[in-house]
Amino acid sequence: MADDPLKEDVALLLKATHSKSASKRRLSVERVDQRLRQYAAEKREEAARHDEDPEAPLVHPQREASAEYYAMLLDPSLQPVPTAEKEQEEIDEYLAHCVRTGEAPDVLRLMPPCFRRDKEQAAWLATTIAVLMTPVMIVRVLLFTLCVMMHLFVCRILSMGCDLHNLAVWRERVIAFSGRFTGRFTMMCAGFWWLTHVDKQYFDRSKHRPGMLLFNHTGAAEILMSAALAHPSWVSKKAVRNLFIFGGIMDVNRAVWVDRSGSGNEDMVRQMIDRQTGYDANRPQIMIFPEGTTTNGKYMLRFRKGAFYAGMPVQPVLQRYRWRRFDPTWEAGLVNVFWYMWRLGTQFANCMEVIHMPVYFPSEEEKADPELYAENVRTAMARRLGASLINGVSWKEKYLYRDLFKGRIDVYQYDQMLAQLRGRPSFRTS
């Protein structure tokens, strides 16, 4: 087992890249895509045949408001959502210059704009406050850990000897209540004394609510917020399963585990299709970060298609931080986790704004094309958040940049690996 699981992800990625030619990889992806589209269409037809109230989606209380809301956000006559193309071109030009001339690069200039954190103002004052608040943080950590362990105990007791996929409704409700309480209490332990909810009337808790929640991903606090809001089943990378306490809770709540090496992900998408098309309001919803990794909240990465193959309605939820002395956004590998936890926990108060959007009902065209569905939802979410769109950047590129940032690879290796990811020639050879 590698010491750093994130580094292992990059190694697996590069191994997979070399194992097949580009044409064979593309053909394999296309075949998987066609199989998943066909499977989703069959599941939708099967769900329609067995639906006790087939007209329910048509008379959903949010349907009319949703149509008006998204028609306004996706109106083609509006000015397009800003993109990061110019910033990306400048970074590529600087990388090409460093590779071709041998100039030692300023690594920070090569950082993708979606991962850059704002500089703190009056850093000396913020650090002084953090030192003085350290005893408070220790108490918060103890309360946080105790609360999470109590929730794990509740989950284990209520699921003992039971089929997790067929728990009694009363057991599900007790676990959900415990999870929502734990989510809110742990947020308070992290300094989020209050949450500002915008348009909360759009958050659907009716029996016809969708089986999928979509969140933008900027840090760790929104995971706690989602637990306080709905205690869903999370879609997460497999490495999280090994985390102390949290992996056990997520297992009981039937999390969907993603293998970032690429193997087995077709089965994972099928699992999401099954749970969306056959969603039971007595069971937890699925919650996913469709961007696949964290950003600074100013940009929105291209969405992964897995959540959209089912062609079922989804509920988008946005969040952003309001801060003065410490930016709560977190970049795995680029920000030291212990420093981040210390600074977050020593803030007297952290502020989060939660923006609720109506349920998104896909058109027939979007049902047949998950890529179109994902892009339309991303555009609507970015416009509502006031974020820019950025393409061509993913978790894979973040971890490559992390290795460059920490000196594990040089700029020539970075250029070569980045060229493999993007399917372009290396700047050194072009």
Kindly state whether residue 430 falls inside one of the protein's structural domains.
no
Number of domains in the chain: 1
Kindly state whether residue 427 falls inside one of the protein's structural domains.
no
What average pLDDT does this structure show over 252-270? Answer: 82
For residue 397, is pLDDT > 60? Answer: yes
pTM: 0.89
Nearest to 183 by CA among 225, 218, 154, 244: 225
Kindly state whether residue 119 falls inside one of the protein's structural domains.
yes
Q: How confident is the model at residue 273 (pLDDT cuts 50, 70, 90)?
A: very high
For residue 19, is pLDDT > 70? Answer: no
Q: What is the pLDDT of residue 25?
A: 64
Supply the Cα-derived Rg of the chain in whole angstroms: 22
Q: DSSP assignment of 203-219, as one string? A: S--STT--SEEEE--SS
Q: How confident is the model at residue 330 (pLDDT cuts 50, 70, 90)?
A: confident
Kindly state whether residue 428 falls inside one of the protein's structural domains.
no
251 CB-near residues (< 8 Å, 6+ apart): 164, 241
More confident residue, 1 or 413: 413
Q: How confident is the model at residue 2 (pLDDT cuts 50, 70, 90)?
A: very low
> Which of helix, strand or coil describes residue 351?
strand
For residue 312, is pLDDT > 90? Answer: yes
Q: Contact 112/393 with Cβ under 8 angstroms? A: yes
> What is the domain extent for residue 106?
5-422
